[in-house]
Structure 1
Amino acid sequence: MEIQSTNTTWTDICSINDLTPNAGICALFNEQQVAIFLCKQTNNVYAVANHDPFGQANVLSRGLMGSTEETVYVASPLYKQRFNLVTGECLDSDKEEHKLKTFAIRIENEQVQLKEAS
């Protein structure tokens, strides 16, 4: 599914009913692959870049969700590095180049919407 937006308004991506709790989906937004997750415990949605900076592949939407204390993360299906779904930071590396891009995400009228984070 390819969604393109040239302004800073919210863009419909899919229905909330298209998401499976604690699993990811991938959407194309402004020519970028975005991994979208719905957390069953908190009922929050998260959006990060789908590109794994370690494995150099677009696979994070297939990763496993988990949590440590108050941090919700996705573990890469390739080399298992964990990425904070709120900040994009890699929990297993301090290097800035391993941080994922995050996207502003919300649910409006049962639609999952994205916009570029500022």
Structure 2
Amino acid sequence: MENWVTICQVSDLVPNAGVCALVVDQQVAIFSCTRTGSLYAVSNYDPIGDANVLSRGIIGSLDGQPYVASPLYKQHFHLETGVCLEEPHYQIKTYPVREYHGSIQVQSALSQAA
């Protein structure tokens, strides 16, 4: 499905920090990583801390892989797969994200991106 929702402008993103947006009734955390040069979109919900806080987490890499560390209990969630490094039975949703003509967009068919 090719339905994309504009979240913000590229200029609204702070490198290596997250922003949160409400997309189709779900909170999505968007990250612009300078190390990889990539955009990432994941669920803002931390299933371990039981709160919508991941956009406030710190991004970095472990063994060359991009992660966000939850600001609550510091578990690391992989930004591409959503799997928790410390507790792999926990996983957050990841979403297709792109930069399009200066806008940051997330695919609107979020129910298909599990």
The aligned residue for residue 78 of structure 2 is: 84
Q: How does 1:77-116 map to 2 (within 5 A)?
A: 77-95=71-89, 98-115=90-107, 116=110
Partner of 1:51: 45
Moved over 6 A (4+): none
1:8 Cα deviation from its structure 2 partner: 4.7
Q: Distance in 2 between matches of 1:104 and 1:16?
A: 16
**RMSD of aligned alpha carbons:** 1.3
Structure 1 unmatched ranges of 5 or more: 1-6
Equivalent pairs counted in the alignment come to: 110
1:7-86 matches, within 5 Å, as 8-86=2-80
SS in 1 for 2:96: strand
TM-score, L = length of structure 2 = 0.91
SS in 1 for 2:55: helix
After TM superposition, give the deviation of residue 42 of structure 1 in Å.
2.1
Q: Which amino acid aligns with 1:104?
A: P
Where do 5+ consecutive residues of structure 2 fail to align? none
